[in-house]
Amino acid sequence: MLPIERVFHCLQGKPTDRVPYAPLATLYGARLISCHLNEYYANPQKYLKGQIAVVDKLEPDILFTPFALVMEAEAFGSKAVYFEKNPPNLKIPAIVSLADIDNLSVPELENHPRLVYLLESTKLLVEQYKNQIPIAAIVSSPTDLPALIMGIENWIDTLLFHPEETRQMLELTSSFFVKFSNTLLSIGASFIFTPASFSNSTIITQQIAKNVLIPELRSQYAKINGPIVFHHGGERLLPFLEFFHNLPNVVSFVLDPRDSFDEARMIIGNNIAIMGNINGPLLLKANPKTIEGWVLKLLENRKNDSKYIMTTSNADIPYDTPLKNLNIITETIRKYE
């Protein structure tokens, strides 16, 4: 089976030759081609080359566009910091005061170099792997992007104490989310892959999550012209899964490594795919034997689950992760066939 057949059969609950596997290896491509990250995160051709190396070395069933959410915030005016071995992160938010929200506007996709990079990288991946490997386009949740535009503290403060400004920020980020996601889908991305931690009650109060943020997701997801994969965003998803269940267009949830698949199935039933649950950042220090144990345990746990895709959870696989630690995952899945 081709990866695209394997993944879409799985999403539909049809039989597959083996469990589909998708390592979140967007950063790792740079290591495989020995590309400096400043260039990797600026030149779509380099990103493509890195992902071709990922295909060659890791044989993934899904490829991801750059996992660099802060680039979306850069288009709003935030400043990012670029590292030698880590993905970019927020350095200075675009605004520091609520009064500055009025100065923000939804960026034109073709006007900002970071957005152009993200779109072009997606386009190149689609051209390279059309009808072979599905492309997951990573897009910041409209409920999380404000934290990258105004800082985590300001966004929490706004959500807690300033309903009007909350509405203003969500209007901006939701409008961007819909425009950006639909453009990515229109150029061939197979689905939108969106980490969302601010709609999770570990971060925000359950009242705000239920009354403000989840209704916002429901409203915006309905406008997306394709399937959505809901990523846990670094927080436990299970305790709140019931609130996210039945969001429009969501075809799968990526669970936190601490979440139980069996319990998740009891909440969401069998009609929706689940993904995870190898803790990506832990692959750096683990040894192959341990990783093999994790994979076998997962395979055994999900052997009767026709809608399971093995992915790495949490953040990108770290740059310095030994290749043998990743190869053992592929080998173990193959052997399990």
Partner 1 sequence: MIMNYIEITQNRIILINKIIEARRAEAVDFIRNIAEKVGYLNAINQVLEPVLIEIGEMWSAEKLSLAQGYVAAKITEDLLLYAVETKEWQVIAADRHTPVVLANIEDDFHSLGRKMVSTFLQASGWEVIDMGNDVTAHDIVDKAIELQAPLIGVSAMMYTTALNIKKVRQEIDSRNLQHKIKLAVGGAIFKVRPELVHEVGGDGTCTSATQAPQLFSKLLKTIKTI
- By CB under 8 A, tell whether 89 contacts partner 1: yes
Nearer to partner 1, 258 or 335 (CB): 258
- By CB under 8 A, tell whether 318 contacts partner 1: yes
Interface segment toward partner 1; rule CB under 8 A; list 43-51, 87-95, 121-129, 328-336: 87-95
Minimum gap (Å) between residue 211 Cβ and partner 1: 12
Minimum gap (Å) between residue 224 Cβ and partner 1: 27
- By CB under 8 A, tell whether 152 contacts partner 1: yes
Minimum gap (Å) between residue 202 Cβ and partner 1: 6
- By CB under 8 A, tell whether 100 contacts partner 1: no
Residues of this chain, 4-63, that bind partner 1 according to CB under 8 A: none
Site string for partner 1, 249-268 (x = CB under 8 A): ---------x----------
The half-sphere exposure of 77 on its side-chain side, counting CA atoms within 13 A, is 14
Q: Residue 277, preceding bond cis, omega within 30 degrees?
A: yes
**Do residues 27 and 53 touch, judged by C-beta distance below 8 A?**
no
Among 105, 132, 206, 246, binds partner 1 (CB under 8 A): 206
In the sheet with 273-279, reading across from the earlier edge strand, the strands are 21-22, 308-313, 273-279, 250-254, 228-231, 191-195, 135-138, 63-64
Taking the C-alpha atoms of residue 336 and residue 303, their distance in angstroms, rounded to an integer, is 10
Residues of this chain, 269-288, that bind partner 1 according to CB under 8 A: 281
Interface segment toward partner 1; rule CB under 8 A; list 118-126, 128-136, 203-211, 323-331: 203-211
CA angle 13, 16, 21 (to 5 degrees): 95
Minimum gap (Å) between residue 205 Cβ and partner 1: 5
Closest CA to 87 of 18, 138, 27, 16: 27
Strands 135-138 and 191-195: parallel
